[in-house]
Structure 1
């Protein structure tokens, strides 16, 4: 199975935790977890990411907000030393997701983000745990059309992207709903954190209906950087760092990409087998014919060569499918504690329910 490339784009308002998630994800996976690793292809980008992580670990300094110019990263995701997928990642400021592209004061990153969404294989929708906690405390109501999470506006971006990609004959992007800062849920809701997380996941269709739409495959993933509590943190206590689930979204994005490739290669295998059967039929007819001569022998030889090529291609694609399905089984095990929604149906432990 070859190494493919996926484009990941994050959507979320300012201060929702997009950049912090990326730093936590990179720090977790660059060190390695469960045999998986993430490396920046540019050594200087690796140093930038890890220098900022060291500031957090040593001094409690959170990563600075993304500037007006988005930052591009090229990552490679590995299992052991084997490359699984290349990742095109770009960090946009929060305002780029909610500003008007045609406004005089708009910046170029607004247009760039909208164009990038059309190329995105996976979209991460970031929900700030502070506001998710308040939503839970209010009874997890449906039809949240206003508020700091900007869910309706961001859902429109996702809906438009899904439609445009399907119309272009491309797979719909996978969707990750990230609930950040889950360490604050207990304090805000008055519930145990685990209960608050399950309350959010059980009612998320009220908050993010697009995640449960036909044609959309979604991972719901709560994450946290540490047990920092409520507050507008510029600095945190490094002793309270407690990174949770930061590596799971990338595993899901890869899982979805492989499943798309399995679907594509399965269709190709069917086509190859159909061609093989047709060629065998032509060969049988030629051999059974009454006429003879050089032209007939030439046609028979041509069909035999063609059939050999088809059989070799069938063997190659079959092996790639077997490898891909084995990888999918391994990836499912990494996600078996989380919730995946496919065409509105919840899948847990790889099965629908």
Structure 2
């Protein structure tokens, strides 16, 4: 199984800025988690990129796909390795892009899909939350970029590609009135109804590095760790499900071999199965423990959408991990 996280978004959505800032801040440690690249040259590249952004030198939109291999740790103990597959802005809506077939394969094999939306799209002056919702709904309805991206997702389903769990990331959320942050998620749920109702797992995360970072202001990170945490939770969920199947198969074999003749005839296989059960239980406990630690990165009010149905994020994942750990 591949631990791939496929990342797409509009041009100028802040996808590269988010990657550089998120990496630089998390590589120094954030809430007991730390993130590093396996390639020291990529570490230097991302650090320099972020330093340039903080000096007002924003990167030009990327026209190529790139792979960043990351290692996530908690208190310097390994949690998960994964590949961040970053694709050019607008590629999903461009069927003739040279990397389009590669993207389709990447989505098909991905554990998680991250869709990055430009926070500028959500920066609307309004007199109230209801006024904001109405204006944003109208704006998204007629936004050509959003329409092309969602239409492209529909085409993927027509090609038999199952869309993996999605994290919708709204960048630059410091430009959005804080009182309207909840309305952003509500409007997205209605505007992208097909995405929410057609996918087993969807999370919305508004992120920001604070105002004025390009003019020397100190970064003020807001929820930048959530997309990474969600992606890794989905990866751990995938492995725990596979582990559960393997443990169940071993238990069933041992239970079917309880009579004296079977235990004598299959003694070596039974012994191996019993050892496997113990080893798998240890691995399952480790992954479950890591998952519970990741859940602490989310507020209690955080939501997750299961085939369009709203659930509380933490209880949903806790119940699943508890069941898989049995």
Counterpart for residue 157 of structure 1: 153
Deviation >6 Å, runs of 4+: none
The change in CA–CA distance for 1:276 and 1:88 in structure 2 (over 3 A counts) is: same
Q: 1:351 to 1:248 in 2, by over 3 A?
A: same
For the structure 1 residues 240 and 308, does the alpha-carbon distance in structure 2 shift closer, same or farther, using more than 3 Å as the test? closer
Aligned residues: 309
d(CA) in 2 for partners of 1:219 and 1:5?
A: 21
**Alignment match, 1:264:** 242
Q: Secondary structure at the match of 2:241?
A: helix
In structure 2, relative to structure 1, the CA distance for the partners of 1:242 and 1:24 (3 Å cut) is same
Distance 2:114 2:133 in 1: 24
- Report the equivalent of 1:44: 41
1:22 to 19, 22, 36: 19
**Structure 2-normalised TM-score?**
0.84
* DSSP-derived class of the 2:101 partner: helix
CA deviations 1:96-116 (Å, max 9, x no partner) are 222122xxxxx4223332332
Cα distance, 1:198 vs. partner? 0.8
**CA-CA distance at 1:60 after TM superposition:** 2.4
Alpha-carbon distance in structure 2 between the residues aligned to 1:77 and 1:226? 24
Query: Please, what TM-score do these two structures have when normalized by structure 1?
Result: 0.78
Unpaired stretches in structure 1, ≥5 consecutive residues: 102-106, 167-171, 187-192, 229-234, 287-298
Most deviating of 156-165 and 12-21: 156-165
**More displaced stretch, 198-207 vs 20-29:** 198-207
The answer to whether the Cα contact below 8 Å between 1:178 and 1:220 also exists between their aligned partners in 2 is yes
1:175 to 166, 180, 205: 166
CA-CA distance at 1:19 after TM superposition:
0.7
Uncovered stretches (5+) of structure 2, i.e. residues with no partner: 125-130, 317-326
Contact 1:12/1:127, CA 8 A, preserved across alignment: yes
Matched, 1:279 2:293: no
Shift of 1:5: 5.0
The question of whether the paired residues in 1 share the 8 Å contact of 2:34 and 2:74 is answered with yes
Render the CA deviation track for 1:38-89: whole Å, top value 9, x for unaligned.
11111111111111212233x22223321x2323221111112222222212
CA contact (8 A) 1:179 1:223 kept: yes
Partner of 2:309: 345
Q: Give the match for residue 94 of structure 1.
A: 89
Tell me if 1:64 matches 2:60: yes
1:255 aligns with 2:233: yes
Looking at structure 2, the residues matched to 315 and 130 of structure 1 have their Cα atoms a distance apart, in angstroms, of: 52
Change (3 A) 1:239 1:54: same
Counterpart residue number, 1:7:
4
Q: What does 1:182-201 correspond to in 2, within 5 Å?
A: 182-186=173-177, 193=178, 195-201=179-185
What displacement does 1:180 show? Answer: 0.9
User: Which of these residues, 112, 118, 121, is aligned with residue 111 of structure 2?
Assistant: 121
Q: CA deviation at 1:129?
A: 1.5
Instruction: Determine helix, strand or coil for the equivalent of 1:242.
Output: coil
Residue 26 of structure 1, CA deviation: 0.5
Q: Which residue is equivalent to 2:137?
A: 141
